Structure formats: C-alpha cells, structure tokens
Structure 1
Amino acid sequence: MRTICHCARSAFRRSTAIALPVMLGWLAVPAAAQAPVAGAATGLLEEIIVTAQKRSQNLQDVPIAVTAVTANMLDVAGTYNVLDLEKISPGLQVYQTGASVLPFIRGIGSNQSNPGFESPVAVYLDGIYQANKGGNSFDLANIERIEVLKGPQGTLFGRNATGGAINIITKDPGSRPRIEAEFGYGRFNEKRARAYADGQVTDTLSASLAFTGRWDDGYIDNIYLDKKANPSENMVGMAKLVLKPNDNFTARLSGSYYYHDSATFLSPHVLAGTLPTAAGAGYAPVYGKYETATAHDTGVTNKGYRGTLNMDYDFQDMRLVSYTGYVKGSSRTLSSSDISEATIGYSGSRNQPGEQFSQELQFQSTGSDRFNWIGGLYYMWFREGFDNLISTSNVPSPIRPIDLTRPGASVTAFNSYITTNAYAAFAEANAQLTDDLRVTAGLRYSSEKKAADGEMFRFAAVPYTGSPGEDFYNTVLEPAGDNLAFGKTPLAAMDLAKTFDKLTWRLALDYKIDDDVMAYASYNRGFKSGTYNPSVVSPAQVPVSPEILDAYEIGVKTELLDRRLRLNTAAFYYDYSNIQVGLISAAGVTTVQNAASARVYGLDVDLTAMLSDRLTMRGAVNLLDSKYKNYASAQIFLPRTGAACSAPPPAISYDQAKTLAAAPKQPGSCSYALNATGLDLIFAPKISANIALDYEVPLDQARLVLTGALYYNGGYDIVPGGLFGRIPSYEALSLSATYHAPGDRYFVRLWGDNLTDSDHPIYISPQALGIQEVNARPLSFGVTVGFKFGD
C-alpha cells in the first residue's frame, strides 16, 4: 500500500500527543483494593452477536468485516445521530447536503443528494431498507446495537449495498416492568431527554415505548438578521409490540415518528481565500467560522413515520421470516446560494416527499450445523421527488408578483418524481468442507424499473384579474396593490421509464486455524441501479448507468489471551466502474453523470482488549489508497480569474487547475471539466482511526465509570483534486464521568464533546455564486441525570 502522507501522520501524532494524555490522566484512577461490585466486568470479552448474514451469529464466525457497537458505546463516543456514526467506525464517513444524509464506506458512496438517487451504502432499520436519504437524518432511539458492514453486500442485502450497509437494530421489550428516563443540559442551551418503558402486557405479549429528543439554540450567528442561524430540534418516538404465543412463532410490530429541524448545513460562510459573486455587487463577504449572512431564514426540516411488521416461524428444519415495512416522509428546504444578504440567487423545495413499501420473505435452514442455506424474495415500491423545487435569480424572499418585473429576475420550478419498482430473488449457502474449512456461496438477481415523470415551469408577472395566480413555493399570493399576479409558462415535461437487471454474487472461504483464530477470503459483486434525474426535466433525458463494484478481501479474526484480546483485520481491493457523481448547475441545482472507473485498496484493523478487570480499550484504524482510473471530465469550481466564465466548461488538467487556483481572484466561481484520472476518490481519507477507554471504579455498592473516546480523520477531498473542496485532518475527543448509584437506580454523568475544540469544516459546497463552508460544532459540555425503575 502507498505510504500515508507525512502531513497526515504528523497531524495524527500531534492530535494524539494532545488527546491521549488527557484520556489517560482522566482514566488513571487507582483501583480500589476491594472486590468488584455486582455487575462489574468479568475480565473476559463478551460475545458479540450480529446478523450480518441474516441470522444470529458470533461476530468472530462471520467472514465479513463488521463493526458492531452497542448503545453504551454510542454514549461513550458522544454519538446521538446517524451523522455521528463515523466516530465509532473508521472507514465510514457520513456527510449531509441539504436534506440528504450521504454515507460513504471505504471511499464508496455518492455525493448525489437529489431524490431518485439512493445511496450506495444501504441503511436498514429493524430489517427494513430505508430508501429516503432525508429520512435517515434522525437521532438514535431505543438502540440495541448498530452493525456497519464494510464492502458490497450484494447477495443478502442486495441493491444499493455497493459500499456496504448500516444495520440498526432496536431493543425488544422485556418481560418485567421497567421505566428508564434521563435528562441533560449543556452548552448552547442544549436540552436532551430520553425515556423508555417496557413490560409484559399478557403472557404472550410485551410492549415498549421510547422517546428521544434534543433541542438547542445553535452555534452559528446570522449577522444580517441578528439571530441564531441554526437552532435545532430533533425528536424520535417509537412503540413496539412483541407477540410470542409459542416457542415457534414471534411477531414484532413497531411504529415510529421522527422530526429533524436544523439549518446547520444551509448556514454557510464564504470559504477563506475566495470571493462570492455578491462581493462584486458591494456586499462584504462573511468569513467568520461561526457566522453567516442571509436576507431570509434558511433551513431543512425532515419528518415522517415508519411502520414495521417482522414475523418468523420455526418449522422442524426450516425457519420462515417475513419483513414488511412502510415508510413515509417529507423534507422542506430553503437555502441562499449567494452566501450573503443579497438576492442574487437562492433555491428550495416546498416538499420532497418520499413513500415506500417493501416486503421480504426469507426461508432459512435450521436442521444442520454443517450445511446452512437461506433463500428469499424481495419487492419494493418507492416514489420520491420534488414538489415545487424553485431556483431563483434576483428576487427577494418571499416573492411577490412585482418582484418578477425586476431586471434579471427569474424563477423556475419543478414538479418531478422518480418511481422505483424493485424485484429480487436471492439464495446463499455455506457448507463445512472439513471440520475447519467452510465455503459460502450466494447469488442475487435484481430487476428494477425506474420511471421519471415531471414538469418544469417559468413564472412571470401577469395582470391581476381577480385571482392571485399560480401558486409556487415561497410566495406572497395576495395582491399588493400593484394589479399583478403570478403567471406560469410550461417549459418541459417528461414521462420516461427503463428497467435495469443485474446478477450479483458472493463467494467466501473461511478456515478455523484454531478455536480462537479464523481466516477468510471473499469475492463479492455489488450493484447500484441506474436511474433518471428529477431535476433535469426533459423528454430526451438519458438515465445514468448502473454502478458495479467487484471486491476482493482477505481477513483474520482472532480472540487471544484467554478472551481478553479481540483483534480483527481485513485487507481489500475494489474495482469500481460507472460511478454516479453529482454535478451542480449554475443555478445551484444538482445533476448527475457517470465517472468511468476507479480502484481502491486498504486495510481495516479492529481491536478490543480487557487491560484489567475494570479497564477496557477499543480501537480501530482504516487505511485507504484510492484512485480514479479513468475520469476525464470531473466537474470542479474554481474562483473566477477573468472577465467571464466560459461555456461550455473548458477541459483542464490538474496542473492547470492548480495554476488557476493560485491566480488573482475575481468575485464568483467558474466551472471546469477536470481530468481527474489518477486523483483520489472523494470522501476517501487515507487514514481514519479511533480509540476508546472505559474504566470502572467500585465505590462500596456504587461505582464510577470514566470513559474517553478519540476519533482522528486524516482529511479527504469533497471534489476531485480537493482544490477549494477539502476537509483537512481533524480529531474529536469525548470524555465523560458517570456515577452509578447502588443498584443502578440513578446516575449522574458529566460529559464533554469535541474537547479539542476542532473547528474543521463539516460541509463545503463549491458553486457558481461562491464557495460555501460550514464548520463543526465547537467544544460542548453538560450534565445528564438518569433514573431507572423496575428490573
């Protein structure tokens, strides 16, 4: 593997030199000279059960690279939202653009935020695939564990698991009554609340209720409106019923509601060293890392609900499993493209609806330890799109009819949708060839029909005739005494459809070197369907081609030192073709194209160690080397250097791009077609790593738990080449001290997140009107108090 760059290594050494002494000093409390209290660590690592192969198995027996984390581990790392998961699984990057959550695993993912483009990293909640990217921005409630499956899962998880899968499993209710609640308060007026109640309703039915919520005032100031730009509100509520009338049948019915409202990723400032177009019109650029300036409130609101019915029935030698899911959600956005209080350009959507139904049937063998198989059928219907997506120039917010008479005023709008009908049949089997050697083989056939329908309009002021005219997003419809109304002119329409078929597979060999050491090798193919683009309304639109990824992996899983050390490693190589990459038009609307091909190779290491009966260490590192093998026309935006931008975008080399980047800058940005062949993939850090320590101090019948978690990222490109689009290296340190009362009846926790006060960017968006940036939430701290009643 190519050596990691010296700058990343030195930054990692610097951050570790700062953070590790803090963690070790925090945890280096002398152990009391007494026996461990009830519930203290046994000194042995607990067995971790995962469902990465659609059945419950010991993590160490699964020939797949999997990071499995519990609810307690999430709390230790300060992980509350899906966006925080990268801190506990190196190699995973989670990015948000507008309303969409975009995960990447080992450099594989998509920067495409539009509806109709599902992520190449599949997110599952209690066995149900979550297609809507906006719906995946939710806080983590009622979590049993989360499994991050690295590499293509094209057989059992299927379509859109090209990069891997994030499998979220919630708790089942217990048989004894229990109530748990916790409340916290922290910096930025942050308020946290969690509640969980469960118990047995009848001899065969148990139930649970869960709620989690977070509210804060935000940390970014809108200096034009003189108010906080990004207050946030996050809530998740969930109810779950488990029916078990006999030993053979179990049914789980759950329903949940989520609400996420935050303008963080649409509250940017101007990237240092650049000038927005608004600067040429006399508006002072805002460069403050925790400041923005817009003439209107920006924001993102995601909300929706989910319903899930999971049933399984055990026959004598077979198990039948059914997963039925319904998901409905919507997103609302309003942004400012010019990054100023000007009215040069903004965009937004009144609603981005997404509705999904899915049904999966699995047939699993149960009668033999030497030969196991699983087969199944899958269907999903999914429709999402834009309801009134507007793109504006030179109009204020909100828009009146008279505003459309301004020089240069323009408003266009889309109503467009993508409908997916996906069918699949799959089978996978594993057989013991000898007592120590096992083979796993699987196939999946997918057929997916994509349909696109929609209309595009331009709006203009027309004489008022008693009606305010056509309605569209962000308008004032009532007449303002100017005898004008909104008129609508159709520009284009589309009604298209195409079917994509693909066979994917998995082949793996694993060998038990001894009872505690297993080696494996695998070859997997992943597939992400082609699709249409809802923001390009044209009857002649050509869909993008499907992505294909072939993955080769070898790994070793070990438990050593009498189950005090768990060390798992995996080395991998990817051949990636027809990569779907997002582009941003001059109006700020995202489109897509296929990049040609890429290759990725790297190494994953996961370690858990019981350093003593009370001290546990967890650590992981991911090393990546990625390159585009053939990508001749990658879109990049560079600061304008001449009187005007060229159209179409001129083709340039990377050396030419660096020369342009160093030239004297004019307000605004120009688009170029960069030859990115040989450059790193986007969202592919060369190194990411974490380390966490838990130390338990017995205090008579009580206990004190000290925890620390450090995450390091070596930095990665947001755009090919990284010019004016790179996240630099950063680290994030979380510490907590938790006092647990006797019997764990209550606890008090002092916590701190981002204690290194890293101000690294979490969002960069190069666009024609300027290059936007949002920085990470600063150091935060607080206290949480929790209670427990019942068993």
Structure 2
Amino acid sequence: MRAYRKLHSSGYVALATGIALGLSTTSTQASAQTADGGGLNDIVVTAQRRAERLEDVPASITAATQETLTAAGVTDIHDLDQIAPGVQISFTGAYTQPSIRGVTTLTAGPGWENNVAVYIDGFYSPAPVGVNVALSNLQDIQIFKGPQGTLYGRNATGGAILINTRAPTAEFTLNAEASYARFDDVSLNGFVSGPITDTLRVGVAGTFRRSDGYYRSVDPAGSGGTVGNAANIRQQSIRAKAEWDATPDLKATIGYNYVLIDDPTTLLFPNQGYAPSFLPAEPLAGRAPYRASSNVNTSNEARVHEGTLKLVYKTGFGNIASYTGYQKLAARTVYDFDGTYLPILDIDGPNNKYTFQHTTDVTIDSIDRLNLVVGGSYYNDVDRNDGSKVFLNSALASFTYARLTAKAWAAYFDATYDLTDRLILTVGGRYTRERKGIRYRQLDASQTINLVPAGASSATFSDFTPRATLRYELSPRTNVYASFSQGFRTGGFQPTPAADPSQLRPFRPEKITAYEIGFKTAQSIVRFDASAFYYDYTDLQVGVTRANPVTNSLISFVSNAPSAEIYGLDLQGSVEPVRGLSLMAGASLLHARYKRFPGITGVGLDPATNLNFEDVQDWSGLQMTRAPDFSGNAGASYETALANGTLRLSGNVSYSGSSPQSNPSVFGSRAGALARVQRYRNSAYTLVNAQVGWAAPGDHVTLTLFATNLTKERYYINYGGTTIFGDVGVFNQPRTVGIRLRYQN
C-alpha cells in the first residue's frame, strides 16, 4: 500500500483559487471591520518588545487571535501551518518541534532544545510541552520568521513563537466549551475571571481531554482485526493568574501553570518495510496503516509545574519589566522499539528537568525620536535522566543515569531612531555566554558494573548576535524594509553515554546570518505582506539515529553540518470585500539545501539483502527536512443572520510540497542509481478543513460542526529508518468529524 498520496488536482485548484482571491495571507484575521464597515482595525504585535502596528514592524510576522484561529478551524498549535506560510509544527510525543523556513530540530525530549524559541506570556519555554494542550484563555499567537537572536536570545535561529494568554479581567467573565469528535475524543475547556477588589483581579483557565487515539492494536492471534487502542491520549492543564495594581505605577502578575500530557502516538514504531527476518510476519508487525503492536503499555507522559512573577513599573522615561519563573518538568517514556508483540527491545526512561529564568527589560521612550530597549537575562537548567532502563528479550539489560546542566547569561539592547518622519533605523545586539555540563553512568542490571566508563565534561559557548533594519514609510500604513540579523543556538553534549570518555566532545553551536527585504501594507479592506530572504547557515545541528554500541538500542545523535543555504519568498494577505466575508491566503517559495555535509552516518539500503545498514553518506546539496519547495494556504469565513442568530461558515485548504520528514538519509552507497535519493520523504499533500456554526441570539451560545482532513490525505508525521528493525513511521490523523458547544458571557 502506498505510504502517502500525491496531491489531488482538486486540492491544488482550491489552493490556487484561494490565493487568487486572497492575494496571499496575513493570517492575521484578527483584523475586524470598524463600526462603519470602512476599514480594518489595527493588529498590535510585540516583535520588538513594545506594542506596534503589524505593518510598522520591519519583519515577517504571522499573528492570529483566538477569534482568528477559531474562524479558521485551528484548534491545535500543530495546525498553524494552515494559516502561516513557511511554518510547520511537528511533534514527537509531548514535545513540539517547530519549523520556520526550513530551520528546525530533529531531536526532541529531555536534554534537547529547539532552535525556534517558544515564549508563553513572556517566559521562555525550554521544553515546549505545555503548548500541546489547548489554551482556553488564548489571547493571540505571534510567529516571528527569521533569526531573533537579539531580542529573543538563545535558540532562536529559526524564529520565535509568542503565545499570549488573557489577562485577568476587570469584569466577571466566563467562557466554557465542550466538544466531541471521532475516536471518542472528548474535550472540555473553560476560563473564568473577575475582580476581587478594585486593584486585584484573578483568572483561571482549565482544559481536559481524553481520546482513544487513531491507532489500533492488531490482533496478536493473527485474525487480521484489531483488539483495542494502541495510543490513548490524555491532556489536562490549569493556568491561573492574579494581577495586582500595587500602586498606580506598579503592576504585579503572579501565575501558576500545571500541564499533563500523555500522547504516545509517535512512539508506536510500526514497521513500514525492510524488516529483518527475526521480526514476525504481518499483521503482528503492524504494517497496515493506523495499526501498531507493542508488548508494553506505550506511554509518553510529561507533567509541568511552573510558577511565574511579572512586574511592570511605569516611570517617567518608560517602563521597567521583570520576568521571573521556575519550572519543573517530570517526564517518562515507555515504548517498544521493535514495534511487535515480541519482547525484543523495550525502553523505560524517567527524566526530570528544573529551570530557573529571569529577564529584566528597560524600555525608554522619553527621548525624542528614539525608542530604546536595554535588558539582561539569566537562565539555569538542570536535566536529569534518573535511571533509564533498557530491556532486551524481557531481561533488564542496563540503567543509564545522566545529568546535563546549562547556565546562560545575556545582555542586549535594541534602539529605533526616526532619521526622518518616514525613514526609521533600528540597530541592536545581544551577547550570550553559556556553560554546558554533563555527567553520566551506564550500569548493568545489578547496578554494580559500569558498562562504559563513567564520564563528565563541560564546555563554554559565547556569541554576539547583532541586527539592523531600515524601514521607509511610502504612505500611511505602507512600508518597505531591509534587515540584517543573526541567530545563535548553543552547543552541547549528547544526553547519552559515550563508549569512551575520550569521545565525550560537545557538538558545536549553530549560527545563522539572515538578509531580508519586505513590503507591508494595510489599506481599507486589504492587508498584504511580501518578503524575500537569504540565510547563510553554518554548523547547523542535525539529529540522526544511531545504534548504541553497548545495548544495541538506538540513540539520537547530533552532528554539525558545516554549511547550508536557505532562500525564498513569503507572501501573505487578507481581504474583506463585503461585511461578514473574509478571505485569506498565503504562499511560501523555499530553497533549503545542505551546501556541504559529507561523512555523515545515515541509514542505507542493501539491495542484496533488502535490509537497512549503517552507511557513511554525503548529504551535500540535498533538501533539508520539513522544508518543502512550495507550501501555501487559503481560507474563507462568512457570517450572516439566520433565525435571529448568526450563521458562521468557514473553511481552509493547505498544501505542502514534498520534503524529508524526520530523516534526511539517502538509499546509500550500495544502492546504485538510488545512492543519492533521499528515502524518508513525504509526497506533496493537501489538507481541507471546514466548519459550520450557529450562534444563538445574544452571541453567548454557539454550536459548531467541524471536519478536518476532509479528503483523507495520508502522510507521515514521523518517518525514519533503523539498522535493527527496518523503516518505521507514524501517519497523520485521518478524517475527523466532531461537534463543539461554546458559551461566553
């Protein structure tokens, strides 16, 4: 059976029509008509750590409010590619892996960090687990494309995603939502907020979700049927804020966040071919779509407890803002790596992560023609592997203990000066210094014998990341700009033991230098952005999967690609031709290739045996992962009166061209004419979503029917190969239909 489907011609026509209608997307349908129907409201973003109109910021940004996302049928952060051209949100279990213009990470889990920085309410999210849970009190999401090393710091080589939740309200507010969808997917969300005193306000948001998941366990008796759910999903969260006006000039916001997520879907490892002879024949290996087998109860649970304190003090020269946060992440992964009912290789890995962070910003706006931001940050992180267990043929084989530490200091400034009434110059820079450390032991089942010598090491990384932009206002709310910026992703150590302490060497930091020109306008009923960019990318960290020489299990391993080149064009815009009708569309043309990447260990195929093998390959000139040459989206929403209420119709279509999903490996040195052909690719695919809703009189109660993946497209969300168990892959969720009931006062 085909692992994926080619683009349907009807989907391509729908996308092209949407782009023609929408002129390309701003996906910021946060825009709304003014009271007289004569134009768009301002969209305010904080890309430069101050509130500005979207069209006045010299950068490529996609912004969307809760209302925008709801109208587009986006209910999950993983669906942002439906409204943001050039963006993909992948995930491994509980861990999110954003990709912006081809910049992404291929490693996920405790000990690994993304190269797209995620911030929630101004706080850096070191392990973006919480974003996988619906944010019932979402205010807006802002996606900044391109390196953001100056203002958003470490690990922002690809960009930054800012998620802002609603502040406690001065009036009693109650929102509640319940939904039911295919696969017995039940979801409850709520937000309640209001004043305690004239100066104290409190808000609490909660989410709850349970789902059978869309993968089923094959019958071990070989009947060809299924016997139960393979990956049940659990999600719940509580987000509480108290906002206090301590004085007329000092506002304090204290928050507590709790998140539980258990989504083992991407840890099922169903075999997709090239299986060795010791694996059982179908159906036990789970090779049919949406079927899997495992001899353990697969789990990928993560619990987050986080406390935050934000202080904002208004002064005569500007504002002083302080952000202090502490987060504890407790995670445990249990999975069957061989993907069969045989007890060949099972993993049980507990991890704990403790993170303290503090940032202080001083914003000065009292100097004529000058806006200045000066700040500093401190980051301290401890990540512990508290005894991961490997089981071989049902027998406990080893324990691994590891402790990774990171301490980072940074100072930055960003100054915007109006050279004339229309010409604006911005310059800035950040200096970052970070020290990484590792200590590990790998013991036998008795925990008395070292399987490899215990090791420890540390390394210090530092860098200065500048930026400069020049913006010219052609006319009110119409600008052109040119920018130069750099991003820096810290180096580090593999969170797994080395066979010998002498091999315990850090991988290098990655750095990106970006050049961009753009045009932005917001006029009457139309918004339109266009940007062209070029990235010079060095030492990018590429994750590969290799065999552990001690236990024969598989480990994630980072190699540095010496250089890569990315360039392209983004278009996005929206139009409201008549009251009640909104059209939006967008497109991304992207060329993302490794320039030089020889001598990398990949997964090759031996045609003589039809088995995978560990192969030394050359990926120079090949396409980077999650970087399709073309992607696009289009959507429409319409409101009209019906039965004294409001009928709301919306739909969107998104297209992604072909690209490697999780592994850039080629067929390899023994494959003849296929030697340089990448193996683990998704073919192009098109997703179509739609929803129809009716709001009762007063707009307090809304009932919505929704459908996702209407055309039943199939593609891999995780796809790669191993030298032990052949190729493994997990598909996207099939067509899903559901109903949602919402109340808001």
TM-score when scaled to structure 1?
A: 0.85
Determine whether 1:786 maps to 2:730.
no
Question: What is the CA–CA distance in structure 2 between the aligned matches of 1:571 and 1:308, rounded to whole Å?
Answer: 38
Question: Structure 1: which amino acid aligns with 2:89?
Answer: V
Partner of 2:511: 548
Contact 1:276 / 1:339 at 8 angstroms: preserved in 2? no
Q: What are the within-5 Å matches in structure 2 for residues 263-274 of structure 1? A: 263-271=264-272, 273-274=273-274
Contact 2:204/2:239, CA 8 A, preserved across alignment: yes
Equivalence map 1:158-197=2 (5 Å): 158-197=153-192
**Residues 412, 430 of structure 2: 8 Å contact kept:** yes
Name the structure 2 match of 1:68: 63
Alpha carbons 2:136, 2:191 under 8 Å: kept: no
Aligned residue type for 2:136: A
**CA-CA distance at 1:766 after TM superposition:** 1.2
Match of 2:388 in 1: 389
Identity of aligned residues (%): 30
Q: Which residue does 2:425 correspond to in 1?
A: 439
Structure 2 partner of 1:698: 641
What per-residue deviation string (whole Å, max 9, x for no partner) do you get for residues 663-715 of structure 1?
3553x421112111111111211112111211001236421111112121113
The 3 A distance-change label for structure 1 pair 285 and 700 is closer
Distance (Å, rounded) in 2 between the aligned partners of 1:426 and 1:287: 52
What pairs up with 1:16-415 in 2 under 5 angstroms?
A: 16-17=12-13, 42=37, 44-134=39-129, 136-224=131-219, 226-271=227-272, 273-276=273-276, 278-279=278-279, 285-349=285-349, 351-368=350-367, 370-393=369-392, 395-396=393-394, 403=395, 411-415=397-401
Pairwise CA distance, 1:633: 2.1
Contact in 1 for aligned 2:45/2:142 (Cα 8 Å): yes
| Residue type at the aligned position of 1:449 | R
Counterpart Cα distance in 2 of 1:745 and 1:20: 36
- CA distance in 1 between partners of 2:15 and 2:469 (Å): 40
Q: Which residue of 2 aligns with 1:773?
A: 729
CA 1:545 to 1:181, structure 2 compared with 1: closer, same or farther past 3 Å? same
What secondary structure, in the 3-state scheme, does the structure 1 residue paired with 2:81 have?
helix
Give 1:46 deviation, angstroms: 2.2
Q: Which amino acid aligns with 2:378?
A: Y
Give the 3 Å change call, closer, same or farther, for CA 172–135 of structure 1 in structure 2: closer
Question: Any idea what the Cα deviations from partners look like across 1:243-302, whole Å, max 9, x if unmatched?
Answer: 12444222211111111112211123222x532454379985432111011222212111
Measure how far apart 1:532 and its partner are. 1.0
Conserved 8 A contact 2:94-2:261:
no
- Which deviates more, 284-293 or 416-425? 284-293
Alpha-carbon distance between aligned partners in 1 of 2:603 and 2:544, rounded to the nearest angstrom: 10
1:702-717 to structure 2, matched below 5 A, reads 702-717=645-660
Q: 1:139 aligns to what SS in structure 2?
A: coil
Greater Cα shift, 572-581 or 104-113: 104-113
**Aligned equivalents of 1:153, 1:66: Cα separation in 2:** 12
Give the secondary structure class of the aligned counterpart of 1:778: coil
CA separation of 1:166 and 1:38: change in aligned 2, threshold 3 A: closer
Deviates more, 1:236-245 or 1:71-80: 71-80
The reply on whether 1:672 has 2:615 as its aligned counterpart is: yes
Residue 723 of structure 1 is matched in structure 2 by 678
- Cα gap change, 1:285 to 1:10, in 2 (>3 Å): closer
Q: 3-state DSSP class of the match of 2:328?
A: strand
Aligned to 2:541: 580
Corresponding residue SS for 1:744 = coil
8 Å CA contact retained: 2:168, 2:243 = yes
The CA distance in 2 between the partners of 1:368 and 1:378, in whole Å, is: 25
Structure 1 range deviating more: 622-631 or 224-233 = 224-233
Go from structure 1 to structure 2 and tell me whether the alpha carbon gap of 1:220 and 1:519 turns closer, same or farther (over 3 Å shift). Answer: same
Which residue of 1 is the match for residue 28 of structure 2?
none
SS of equivalent residue, structure 2 residue 7: helix
- Taking structure 2 as the reference length, the TM-score comes to 0.90
> Residue 187 of structure 1: CA displacement?
1.1
8 Å Cα contact 2:531/2:571 also seen in 1: yes
Following superposition, the deviation at residue 191 of structure 1 comes to: 0.9
- 1:721-779 Cα offsets, whole Å, 9 max, x none, are 56331122112222111111121121111111111211211111311222111111111
Counterpart secondary structure, 2:445: strand
Q: Which shifted more, 337-346 or 172-181?
A: 337-346
User: Which moved further from structure 2: 301-310 or 40-49?
Assistant: 40-49
Q: Secondary structure at the match of 2:501?
A: coil
Distance 1:777 1:527 in 2: 34
Per-residue displacement from partner, 1:287-326 (whole Å, max 9, x unpaired)?
2111011222212111112221111111111211111111
Letter in 2 for 1:366: D
Of 475, 492, 499, the residue aligned with 1:514 is 475
| Equivalent AA in structure 1 for residue 436 of structure 2 | K
**Could you say if the C-alpha distance between residues 9 and 763 of structure 1 is closer, same or farther in structure 2, counting changes exceeding 3 Å?**
closer
* Greater CA drift, 220-229 or 774-783: 220-229
Query: Match of 1:617?
Result: 583
Q: Which residue of 2 aligns with 1:539?
A: 501
Change (3 A) 1:374 1:630: same
Match of 1:428 among 414, 417, 431: 414
- Find the aligned partners of 2:281 and 2:701 in 1 and give their Cα distance: 59
State how far apart, in whole Å, the 2-side matches of 1:279 and 1:269 are.
Answer: 12
Letter in 2 for 1:16: Y
SS in 2 for 1:72: helix
Match of 1:743 among 686, 698, 702: 698
Query: Any stretches of 5+ residues in structure 1 without a counterpart?
Result: 1-7, 25-36, 397-402, 405-410, 461-469, 471-486, 642-662
* Letter of the 1:313 counterpart: Y
Task: Say which SS state the counterpart of residue 638 (structure 1) adopts.
Answer: strand
Structure-1 residue corresponding to 2:466 = 505
- Aligned residue among 455, 473, 479 for 1:494: 455
Task: Compute the RMSD of aligned alpha carbons.
Answer: 2.5
Using the alignment, how far apart are the partners of 2:420 and 2:510 within structure 1?
Answer: 37
CA distance in 1, matches of 2:602, 2:420: 54
SS of 2:714's equivalent? Answer: coil
Gaps of 5+ in 2: 21-31, 221-226, 548-552, 667-676
How far 1:548 sits from its partner (Å)? 0.8
CA distance in 2: counterparts of 1:321 and 1:180, whole angstroms: 30
Give 1:203 shift.
Answer: 0.5
The residue that corresponds to 1:27 in the other structure is: none
1:634 shift after superposition: 2.8
1:15 aligns with 2:14: no
Aligned residues: 706
Tell me how far 1:491 sits from its aligned partner.
2.8
On the 8 A contact 1:111/1:582 being kept in 2, the answer is yes
**Separation in 2 of the partners of 1:60 and 1:22?**
23
1:22, CA displacement in angstroms? 12
Question: What is the aligned partner in structure 2 of residue 528 from structure 1?
Answer: 489
Q: Secondary structure at the match of 1:698?
A: strand
One-letter code aligned to 1:259: L
**Residues in 1 aligned to 2:278 and 2:130: alpha-carbon distance in whole angstroms:** 33
Would the alpha carbon gap of residues 386 and 42 (structure 1) be closer, same or farther in structure 2, given more than 3 Å must change? farther
The structure with the largest alpha-carbon Rg is: 1
Alpha-carbon distance between aligned partners in 1 of 2:312 and 2:520, rounded to the nearest angstrom: 30
Structure 1 CA distance, aligned partners of 2:296 and 2:568?
Answer: 45
Are the structure 2 counterparts of residues 149 and 772 from structure 1 closer, same or farther at C-alpha, using a change threshold of 3 Å? same
Cα distance change on mapping 1:289 and 1:617 into 2, 3 Å: same
The secondary structure found in structure 1 opposite 2:619 is: coil
The AA in structure 2 aligned to 1:689 is: G
